[in-house]
Amino acid sequence: MSTASTRRPARDRILDTACELFYAHGIHAVGVDRLIAESGVAKATLYKQFPSKDDVVAAYLRRMDDRWQRGLRSTALAAGDDPREQLVGVFVALEHAAREGTLGCAFINAAAEYHPGSTAHAITAEHKRAVRAWVRDLTAAAGAADPDTLALQLTLLIDGTLAATRVEHADVAAGAARQAAQAMIDSACPQPD
C-alpha cells in the first residue's frame, strides 16, 4: 500500500476497496477479512467505521448511486440542450462504458444477491425509481405523449443493456440499444419545429 493511500481516511479506504471488490467479484464473494486486508485497516477500524458488512454494502450502493446518477446527468447534458438528444446521450454513454469494459450494473448485481426487504434490495429499488423519475422528466420535456411508458421502456432498455454487457459483446449490445432507444424516442416524441 502506498504512503499516499495510507494517509486517506480509513472510511474512504474501506469504501474504495469495497466498491472495487464488490463490483468486480460480487458482494457475497468478498468477505470482511478481504476488505480488511486490501484496504489496509485493522479489523477494529473497519467495525468502528461500519458496524457490519451490511453497513459497508449500504455505503457502497449509495456511493454507486451517486456516481451513476451524476454520470447520467453529465452525459445527458453533454449531448445537447434538446431532451431527445439527452435521452440518446445516455445510450451513447453506455456504448463508451461497454468499450471500457463495464461489469454491468452494480444494482442489478446487488438485487440478484439480496432478497426483497433487505437494506441492499431497498437501496437498489430506490436507485431504480430515481433513475426512472429522472428519465421520465426528460421524456416529458421531449414531448412524449406518454412519458411514463417511454421512461419505463427506456430504463428497461438501460438495464437490459447493462446486463447484456456481462454476456454479449458489450459494444455490440450497447450499439443495438442506442439504435433501439433512438427509434423509440423518434416514435414517441414529436420532432421540434
**What's 164's domain CATH number?**
1.10.357.10
Q: Mark whether 39 and 133 lie in a shared domain.
A: no
User: Residue 193: its pLDDT value, please?
Assistant: 64
Look at residue 182 and give its three-state secondary structure: helix
Q: Mark whether 31 and 75 lie in a shared domain.
A: no
User: Residue 3: its pLDDT value, please?
Assistant: 41
Q: Mark whether 89 and 176 lie in a shared domain.
A: yes
Q: How far apart are CA 30 and CA 22, in angstroms?
A: 7
In a domain, 193, yes or no: no
Q: Mark whether 171 and 80 lie in a shared domain.
A: yes
User: Residue 6: its pLDDT value, please?
Assistant: 54
Q: Which of 14, 35, 51 is the last residue of a domain?
A: 51
CA 59, 121, 101, 139 dihedral sign is negative
Q: Mark whether 123 and 163 lie in a shared domain.
A: yes
User: Residue 114: its pLDDT value, please?
Assistant: 96
CA 27, 125, 175, 163 dihedral sign is positive
Tens digit of pLDDT per residue, the chain (193 long)? 444 455 789 999 999 999 999 999 999 999 999 999 999 999 999 999 999 999 999 999 999 999 999 988 999 999 999 999 999 999 988 888 877 777 889 999 999 999 999 999 999 999 999 999 999 999 999 999 999 999 999 999 999 998 887 777 777 888 899 999 999 999 999 886 6
Q: Mark whether 77 and 144 lie in a shared domain.
A: yes
Q: Mark whether 172 and 98 lie in a shared domain.
A: yes
Domain count, the chain: 2
Contact 92, 79 (CB under 8 A): yes
User: Residue 14: its pLDDT value, please?
Assistant: 97
Q: Mark whether 142 and 73 lie in a shared domain.
A: yes
Q: Which domain holds residue 130?
A: 58-188
The string of DSSP letters for 24-53 reads: HH-TTTS-HHHHHHHHT--HHHHHHH-SSH
User: Residue 5: its pLDDT value, please?
Assistant: 53
Q: How far apart are CA 168 and CA 136, in angstroms?
A: 28
